[in-house]
Amino acid sequence: MSAFDYAVIMPKMSMTMEEGELLAVRVNVGDSVKSGDVLFDVATDKIDMEVESPADGVVKAIMGQIGSTMLVGAPVLMLETATQVMSFDFNTPAPEVEAVVEVPAPVAVAPVVVAPVVSLESVKAVPKARVIARERGIDLASITPTGPDNTVTFEDISNPQVAGAHDARKAANRKMVAASIEKTRTIPQITLSRFSSHTTASLDQGSAHLVATWARILRRNTHLNLSTITEDLRTHVGVALIMESKYGLAMPVFKDPDLMPVAQLVEWIKSTRQQSRAGKVPLEMLSGATASIFDLSDTKISAAIPLLLPSHTTALSVGAPNAAFGQSEISLTVDLRYCDSLEAANFLDQLVATL
């Protein structure tokens, strides 16, 4: 049987854990270990835990420094094992050392799958789904939950047609977005871009600052705060934030976001993102926007040309900070029937200055 390398990583032991301290390593290079043997000890601000070997094997290398603080997902030691270990990433980025893991040669016998250690808080599932997962050796974390509160339902695990239905809805959603963009293509518009050196603690916080700042600019410039379809001035300021949804993209509208404490807006955006991922954006948040914002700051995309949505006067996008010089590119598209290009440049400058 062929042997291959498997990196044992700093595990994520709670929902909030981002890093852990390597307290001790209980094995030496060259040691043979059995599945379940303790390999190393980890301390977090909440819990101290022994990390066990996921499989039988030999310790090939120890990368972790005792006493050092390591990010979740960082490799602590390398195990040479004949068992194909299912890697389970707890929704964190895969460790970069994954590249050194040899591709196992095809083997005659079916690979033994070591059941990943799934903490109860990480996956919610109805009892029947758990029974099926156990019987068929399915990793519940690999199933996309569609039930209330992100729970894996019976249908999610048992009926592949669900995925088909989701795909159909996604396709319909995509079509609808494309059709609406098509309507705004003939509008005279201009897109301006500039770099900004602002930094943010999290995606939600960054989005909140953008949404609130842009809403403030719209509030001061009422001629921009109207529906380009009816030409009625709006009594509120609504900014749509483009976000991931269970069905592709969603554009929930945050009304008067500049009139509430930032912390409250951050929470609102955060909970809306969760609802959106579950495909449940509240109905009252689906209309009433003057502008849209496409926040790509947590991706690797440097810039996107923002597209006007029907009835909107402005659209903004923010790219990821550039790795070399740390600045993000902000782009603004305006409807030239309501705003001239130099005015737009001024608004973009105001936005960057505030951020």
Partner 1 sequence: MSDRKLTMSEALREAMAIALEERPEVFILGEDIGIYGGAFGVTGDLYHRFGKERVRDTPISELGIVGTAVGAALSGMRPIVEIQFSDFTAQAMDQIVNQAAKIHFMVGGGLHVPLVLRAASGSGTGAAGQHSQSLEGWFANVPGLKVVMPSSPYEAKGLLLAAIDDPNPVIFMEHKLLYKVAGTEDVPEGAYRIPLGVSRVVREGKDLTVVATGIMVSRVLAAAAELDKEGIALTLIDPRTISPLDMDPVYESLEKTGRLMVVQEAPEHGGFINEVIAKVVTSQSMGHLIAPVARLAGMNVPIPYAPQLEKAAVPQVDDIIKKAREVVANWR
As measured in angstroms, the least distance from the Cβ of 155 to partner 1 is: 4
Of 42 and 281, which CB lies nearer to partner 1 in the complex structure?
A: 281
Binding mask 100-129 vs partner 1 (x if CB under 8 A, - otherwise)?
--------------------------xxxx
List the strands of the sheet with 4-9, edge to edge: 4-9, 75-81, 57-62, 32-33
In the bound state with partner 1, the residue whose beta carbon lies nearer, of 36 and 148, is 148
Q: Give the closest residue to 214 by CA, choosing from 307, 335, 317.
A: 317
In angstroms, what is the minimal distance from the CB of 156 to partner 1?
8
Between 47 and 131, whose beta carbon lies closer to partner 1?
131
Residue nearer to partner 1 on the CB measure, 36 or 164: 164
One residue of 26, 60, 130, 255 binding partner 1 per CB under 8 A: 130
The count of chain residues that interact with partner 1, using the rule CB under 8 A, is: 13
Q: How far is the CB of 120 from partner 1 (least distance, A)?
A: 16
Nearer residue to partner 1 within complex by CB, 127 or 261: 127
Beta-carbon contacts of 79 under 8 Å, excluding residues fewer than 6 positions away, are 5, 6, 7, 8, 33, 53, 54, 55, 57, 58, 59, 60, 85
What is the rounded CA–CA span in Å between residue 5 and residue 78?
6
Per-residue interface string for the shown chain with partner 1, residues 143-182, x marking contact by CB under 8 A: ---xxx----xxx------x--------------------
Q: Minimal distance in Å, beta carbon 151 to partner 1? A: 8
Residue 285 CB, nearest distance to partner 1 (Å)?
Answer: 21
HEC letters along the chain? CCCEEEEEECCCCCCCCCEEEEEEECCCCCCEECCCCEEEEEECCCCEEEEECCCCEEEEEECCCCCCEEECCCEEEEEEECCCCCCCCCCCCCCHHHHHCCCCCCCCCCCCCCCCCCCCCCCEECHHHHHHHHHHCCCHHHCCCCEHHHEECHHHHHCCHHHHHHHHHHHHHHHHHHHHHHHHCCCCEEEEEEEECCCCCCHHHHHHHHHHHHHHHHHHCHHHCECCCCCCECCCCEEEEEEEECCEEECCEEECHHHCCHHHHHHHHHHHHHHHHCCCCCHHHCCCCCEEEEECCCCCCCCCCCCCCCCCCEEEEECCCCCCCCCEEEEEEEECCCCCHHHHHHHHHHHHHHC
**In terms of CB distance, is 23 or 162 closer to partner 1?**
162
Minimum gap (Å) between residue 121 Cβ and partner 1: 17
- Binding to partner 1 by CB under 8 A, coded x per residue (else -) over 67-106, reads ----------------------------------------
CB of 119 to partner 1, least distance (A): 21
Q: Cβ 132 to partner 1, closest distance in Å?
A: 9
Q: Of the candidates 66, 131, 286, 305, which one interacts with partner 1 according to CB under 8 A?
A: 131
Check binding of 137 to partner 1 (CB under 8 A): no
Nearer to partner 1, 169 or 216 (CB): 169
CB of 136 to partner 1, least distance (A): 14
Q: Which is nearer to partner 1, 111 or 279 (CB)?
A: 279
- Of the candidates 246, 241, 247, 216, which has an alpha carbon nearest to the alpha carbon of residue 312? 241
* Contact range with partner 1 by CB under 8 A, out of 81-89, 141-149, 260-268, 316-324: 141-149
The nearer residue to partner 1, 56 or 155, going by C-beta atoms, is 155
- The residues binding partner 1 (CB under 8 A) are 126-131, 146-148, 153-155, 162
